[in-house]
Amino acid sequence: MRLLVVDDDPGLLELIRTTFEDVEVEVDEASTSASARQLVAARAPDVIVLDVRLAAESGLDLCKALKSDPRTASIPIVLLSGLVDLVPGDAAEAGADAFLPKPFSPLQLLGLVERLAGGLGSYTLTEAPLDRSDNAQLMMYARDLRRIVELERAQRRLLQEAYGATVGALADALEAKDVGTRAHSNRVQRYALDLTSAVEPALGDDVSVEYGFVLHDVGKIGISDRILQKPGALTPEERRVMEAHPTLGHEMLRDVAFLSGEGLSVVRHHHERWDGSGYPDQLKGTDIPLAARIFAVADTLDAMTSDRPYRLARSWGEARREIFSQSGKQFDPRVVAAFCEREPQLRTIHRLVAA
Ligand SMILES: [Fe+2]
């Protein structure tokens, strides 16, 4: 869309240009009616925004002239006016398609211009604003900005809810194959989030991390039920297939935008070990993404303290001993220290979830 703005106030020209260029509207500018006429003749705009008060020929006269010329009569015109004595009727008489008193809301002007350019315009009457002080136009921009921020926040909330629902659906799909995994995902997510707050609180700002905690085993969707539900020990070949689940999960989710970052790394690296003997990439020490190192402790804690099809839950004390004994071997010592620090809170989570 191409817009011609005719105003002799350079500040206002700049404000309008900045507003419209952000939404990919091409803006031509004229500060006198003579230069406006030249621009219209050279290249007809889709809409003209015209200030009433111009030197020499007024905006009202220019509007009348353009509307009475068959070559330019169909170009929609929005009249802007800061004059207290100009009434909307004067603008209508001059043939304007819309009238906007200054100070105006840039969002309102944008909406008006878009409607007119789309051929949806009819004459628009706009109430004169009560505030006509020097900084009133600035306040209008501030109000518009606040409105945009509110809208953007609401959109972000909706998007987060949609992400949450998608993650929940994927977790449910895995639960349908491997009963009990949903409850495990929920528990382990809570342990891991609590440990994250102690190890690296800033990591909690990355929402993908929480999704990664829930979906860590999603790759098991691609593992056959025969192996997944086998009651006894796995053969070496079956184990090899089972150990492909982090890579499968990573392949499934690698293009999902809301998981990109640390969340996706939890899916791929949650079975890596601090000493480098884990899988799939045998990463070692701090080469293992931090969220995956945190998750590994949470995963073992839940695996040991909850019932499994082939054995009953072990005691909290046994799980604690196992985690301490694996510090510097399976687990990052820093995460084990955080486990120690957060043990009362983790026990509370355990009690609540068990209840
Ligand atoms: Fe896993």
Query: For position 57, what pLDDT does the model report?
Result: 82
CA torsion sign for 73, 76, 82, 84 is positive
The residue annotated as part of the active site, out of 67, 220, 230, 329, is 220
pLDDT > 60? residue 313: yes
Mean pLDDT for the chain overall: 88
What distance in angstroms lies between residue 162's CA and the mean position of ligand 1's atoms?
Answer: 25
33/77 Cα distance (integer angstroms): 14
25/17 Cα distance (integer angstroms): 9
What distance in angstroms lies between residue 40's CA and the mean position of ligand 1's atoms?
Answer: 67
pLDDT tens, position by position, 250-302: 999 999 888 888 999 999 999 999 999 999 999 999 999 999 999 999 999 99
What distance in angstroms lies between residue 170's CA and the mean position of ligand 1's atoms?
Answer: 15
Lowest mean pLDDT segment, chosen from 38-52, 92-106, 218-232: 92-106
What distance in angstroms lies between residue 317's CA and the mean position of ligand 1's atoms?
Answer: 23
Q: Is 330 exposed, middle or buried (0-12, 13-18, 19+ CB in 10 A)?
A: buried
Query: For position 123, what pLDDT does the model report?
Result: 55
Highest mean pLDDT among 58-62, 108-112, 207-211, 283-287 belongs to 283-287
What distance in angstroms lies between residue 305's CA and the mean position of ligand 1's atoms?
Answer: 16
Q: Confirm whether 220 is a catalytic residue.
A: yes
221/249 Cα distance (integer angstroms): 8
Q: Say which DSSP state 124 is in.
A: B
How far the first Cα of the chain sits from its last, in Å, is 62
Q: Say which DSSP state 220 is in.
A: G
pLDDT > 80? residue 316: yes
Cβ proximity of 130 and 174 under 8 Å: no
71/68 Cα distance (integer angstroms): 9
Q: Which helix (H) or strand (E) holds 134?
A: none
